[in-house]
């Protein structure tokens, strides 16, 4: 067994703490591990007590130079996410292990531009949702996936983990476990429910996952059949594939459908707190990124009702 450095050992203890005490999801813990492994690689220190201002400067420089597998630069938001994880780790060392380490509040984040939200115009959205060939089994499944994305505003990971029994067709609701393990209720439109039921009619298996691959092989599999559950990348590629075939140049992703769901609600008069609840956002400030998209409507209201001539 290899000898871990004091820093690597401390990170392992922190990840155990996140699972045992903070009830973080496996996905979150995996994200934290990858990020803190980057810190081990680029921070240039062997022990938590060696972390200093110079360490953080070196790490920030490395984040600027880092290239993804597709040779892309990290977005400022991604760089800040890595810095936030280091801050959380240092805070744990101070509060839980009573270590004397570099103060986390001295780690400053990069200045971010206001986030730009990519949404689809209604005509593009209609083209995307109509792209699957619903005379085929895969087309029926993919149509159900995209209608459910737009009906609920679910995150990709949330939609992927849905099970057949999670759908309540009587109330048209789904209870979803989101980030931080928080349960929220999302609502299914009549249209999404119709295409979900048409998809379920071709399912002759008894497997647990809602969205699966290899329908014919699945028929001979005993429940629960987790290995048949569609992967994150498969669901991501479903949206990409139909966006290409529909000729949508803005290159939408599953998250674009979530954005389109939120802006559609706001444009039609929903209040921000209700949208926050439906999206499962912890902070209202996260939901507020959508308001700039609906600002033209606010401008119209201002022109109609403010300082109008009597």
- Catalytic residue, candidates 87, 140, 155, 259: 155
Distance CA 158, CA 149 (A): 10
Which of 87, 160, 258, 259 is catalytic? The answer is 258
Quick check: is 206 catalytic? no
64 is catalytic: no
* Residue 275 burial by Cβ neighbours in a 10 Å radius (0-12, 13-18, 19+): buried
Which of 19, 255, 267, 292 does the annotation list as catalytic? Answer: 255
Among candidate residues 14, 32, 92, 290, the one labeled active-site is: 290
3-class SS of residue 137: helix
Candidates 81, 179, 240, 292; catalytic one: 179
Active site residue 281: yes
Closest residue by Cα to residue 102 from 59, 52, 58: 52
Q: Quick check: is 57 catalytic?
A: no
Give all strands of the β-sheet with 167-168 in edge-to-edge order: 167-168, 173-177, 183-187
Annotated catalytic residue, options 79, 87, 140, 281? 281
Max Cα distance, the chain (Å): 83
Is 141 marked active-site?
A: no
Residue 82 is among the residues annotated as catalytic for this protein: no
- Among 238, 243, 250, 262, smallest CA distance to 127 is for 243
- Please report which residue ranges of 187-271 form alpha helices under DSSP H: 190-201, 215-218, 232-245, 254-267
Which amino acids are annotated catalytic?
A: 155, 179, 255, 258, 281, 290
């Amino acid at each position: 067994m290899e000898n871990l450095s004091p820093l690597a050992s401390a990170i392992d203890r922190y990840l155990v703490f996140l699972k045992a005490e903070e009830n973080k999801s496996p996905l979150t813990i995996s994200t934290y591990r990858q990020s803190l492994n980057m810190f081990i690689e680029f921070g240039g220190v062997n022990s938590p007590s060696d972390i200093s201002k110079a360490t953080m400067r070196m790490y920030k420089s490395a984040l600027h130079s880092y290239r993804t597998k597709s040779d892309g630069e990290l977005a400022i938001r991604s760089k800040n996410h890595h810095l936030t994880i280091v801050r959380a780790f240092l805070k744990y060392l101070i509060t839980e292990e009573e270590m004397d380490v570099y103060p986390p509040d001295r780690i400053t984040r990069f200045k971010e531009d206001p986030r730009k939200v990519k949404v689809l115009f209604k005509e593009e959205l209609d083209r995307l949702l109509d792209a699957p060939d619903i005379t085929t089994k895969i087309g029926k499944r993919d149509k159900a996936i995209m209608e459910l994305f737009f009906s609920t505003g679910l995150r990709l990971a949330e939609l992927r983990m849905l099970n057949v029994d999670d759908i309540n067709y009587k109330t048209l609701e789904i209870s979803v476990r989101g980030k931080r393990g928080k349960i929220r209720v999302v609502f299914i439109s009549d249209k999404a429910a119709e295409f979900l039921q048409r998809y379920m009619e071709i399912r002759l298996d008894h497997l647990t996952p809602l969205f699966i691959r290899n329908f014919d092989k699945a028929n001979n599999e005993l429940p629960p059949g987790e290995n048949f559950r569609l992967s994150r990348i498969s669901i991501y590629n479903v949206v990409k594939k139909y966006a290409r075939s529909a000729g949508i140049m803005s290159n939408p992703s599953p998250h674009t459908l979530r954005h389109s769901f939120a802006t559609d609600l706001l444009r039609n008069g929903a209040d921000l707190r209700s949208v926050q609840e439906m999206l499962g956002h912890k902070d209202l400030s996260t939901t507020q990124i959508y308001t700039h998209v609906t600002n033209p409507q606010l401008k119209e209201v201002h022109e109609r009702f403010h300082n109008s001539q009597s």
